[in-house]
Every structure is written in structure tokens, then in C-alpha cells.
Amino acid sequence: MTIDLSEQVRRGLTAFPKTLPPVLFYDEEGSRLYEAITDLPEYYLTRAERSIFVQHADELVDLALGGASTGRPLTVVELGAGSASKTELLLAAVLRRQPTCVYVPIDVSRAAIEGAARRLAVNLPAVRVRGIVASHEQALPELATIEGPALAMFIGSSIGNLDDQDAGRLLRDLRQALGARASLLLGTDLRKSSEVLIPAYDDAAGVTAAFNKNVLARINRELGGRFDLARFRHLARWNEARSRIEMHLQSADDQSVAIDALGLVVHFRRGETIHTESSVKYDLAHVARLLEASGFSPPRVYFDDGRRFAVHLARSAP
Ligand code: AVJ
């Protein structure tokens, strides 16, 4: 299970234009670099979302429990859990309503889930962690066994990696897997000036550049790739028509790169790019449309003080 690196790399680098899916960023080194990004002064997303949880965690949990208590405890599921440090704020609020809580983090990185479980064992020992090391698609069928109300968390604007069609499909599948008593807590970054967005994805310290290039380093490490990282440049672009930041790796010159384990040689023209990530920036109508199309009721929406980020709490539509 988890991800088929060889297949994804072969497919992406033989496509035109070239792409690599963002899920490939998150090996151990990439997960570490992403955590470093969340501390950068330019990367406001994590701090903005955290401030929403600090202010509204209790109300969010009450809404997820549905006011009229069924007496059954809430289970918390998280897609792309990562280090789950913001989730701790939510789980602490759950434990103010019930004595224990089952937490189901889903992540392609086993190390990330183990790290989260270790920290929760210390900080919130009443939480029972039942992690699933898998992609979202692989994990969803396992969620059907959850009893009682469930709160699914898809935070950090991770949904922005998906185009609307894939995002709608994932939300619909999630709604289906969790059934009628489910709530969804969805974090989305909001549209704003490209003068704020570009530095958030091209920071002065170069951490995001290292994060982006790590996907090439990973191919070198795991697939016998011969990428010279110095011959690729990190690019962050604002795509206004699709309301998204795009990250690319741009070849500095004409070059051919062998990937030994794939028996593949990839040719690059000078200036050609590998599209490595899209990060969609939303307005509220856009999110409402996605939620409605996938079977959720109109959400309650919470903002940080700067209105840079939004957290939406939606219930399964009847
Ligand atoms: C984890 C997908 C939400 O798109 O902002 C951070 C990843 N990429 N800097 C994002 C990321 C470059 C992040 N997400």
C-alpha cells in the first residue's frame, strides 16, 4: 500500500507537460522541511489556522456533536494528518466533552503518524490513536466501521492540492464512507494579493525551494536518479485564471537525466518545468459550491483576525 513511487515518477516525467504529484514530497526529509515551512515568517497559513482553533475549538466540537447529544462519543478522523499539532487543540476540546476519544490519523508517512501518536500519548493520554498508513483513497473504506458521530478533519488547505473535480470526488467519497452522522472540518486558504502569496511559497531562507527540490533528491535516493539539484530552479507562480499558486522545478539548461531503477532517461529543454504542486486559493462561494456538490450542508465559517484563512464546519446533508 501507500504510494507506488516508481509508477508515479515514470508517469509524471514521461508526460507532457512534466509533473510530479505533491504526495511525493513527504518522505522523512520532506516532512521535516514542511514542518520548517510552517514556522517561516512568510508562511502565514499554519499560524492563521491555529489561531482559529485556539479561539473556536469548543464551539467546533459542539457543532460536530450536533447539539442534541446522542450520548455516543465523537470519533475524530484526519486526512493527511502530518504532525497533527493543530489537531491537538481540537482533541483537547473533545476531551472537555467526553472522557476518551478515538483519533484516526491517515497519512502516507508512517513516521508522521508514529510521531503524532507519541506526542499525543504524552500531551493527551486519553486519546486512543488508530492510525492508518495509506493514501486517502486507500483509507476511506476502513472508515465505514466507525460507530457513532464522526468528525472528519481536512485542514491546512491540503484540499488546495486538488483541482475541483478531484476535491469534489474526495469529499463525496468521504461523506459516503462516514455516513449520515458525520461532520467535516475543512481548512482553506483564501484568495489574496500575489504579493503575499508568492513569498509564502518562495521564502527568503530558501526552505520552500529545498522542500520542492527534495522530490528530486528523493528520486536520486530511492530510484537511482541522477538529478543535479543545482541545475533546477525553484519557481512559485500565481495562476490567476485558476486561482492557484503553482510550484515548478525549472531546468536551467538542456539536459538528460537517467533514473537507473526505472531504466529511463528524461530529457529537459532549457526553461522547461516539472509542475510539482498546485495550491488553490478559495473564496467562500467556491468552498460552499464544493461542499454542496459533495453532499454537505451549508457550512459555518470561522476566520482568523486577518481573514487570511477560513475553517468551515459542515454536516452531512440529510
Ligand atoms: C500542505 C498542501 C497545504 O499548499 O500550502 C507549503 C504545502 N507547499 N509550501 C500548501 C506547501 C509549499 C501546503 N499544503
In the structure grid, which three cell numbers stand for residue 84, read together? 497533527
CB atoms within 10 A of CB 307: 10
Per-residue pLDDT, 311: 98
Average pLDDT rounded to a whole number, residues 278-296: 97
- 11: which residues sit within 8 A by CB, 6+ positions away? none
DSSP 24: G
Tell me which residue has its CA closest to atom 3 in ligand 1.
158
Split at pLDDT 50, 70, 90, the class of 2 is: low
Pocket test for ligand 1, best of 277, 278, 282 (most atoms within 8 A of CB): 277
Identify the weakest region by mean pLDDT among 147-151, 230-234, 271-275: 147-151
Per-residue pLDDT, 111: 84
Q: What does the pLDDT look like over 253-263, one tens digit per residue? A: 999 999 999 99
Shortest CA distance to 185 belongs to which of 306, 80, 96? 80
Tell how far the Cα of 72 is from the centroid of ligand 1, in angstroms: 35
Average pLDDT rounded to a whole number, residues 71-78: 92
Please state the atom number of ligand 1 nearest to the C-alpha of residue 156: 3
Contact 133, 107 (CB under 8 A): yes
Dist. CA 135–CA 275, nearest whole Å:
21
In the structure grid, which three cell numbers stand for residue 80, read together? 493527511
- Does position 1 have pLDDT exceeding 50, yes or no? no
Q: What does the pLDDT look like over 157-196, one tens digit per residue? A: 999 999 999 999 999 999 999 988 899 999 999 999 999 9
Please state the atom number of ligand 1 nearest to the C-alpha of residue 200: 9
What residues are paired with 280 via a beta bridge?
A: 244
Average pLDDT rounded to a whole number, residues 59-63: 96
The residues lining ligand 1, judged by C-beta closer than 6 Å to any ligand atom, are 37, 45, 156-158, 160-161, 201, 208, 277, 279
Between β-strands 232-239 and 264-268, what pairing exists: parallel, antiparallel or unpaired?
unpaired
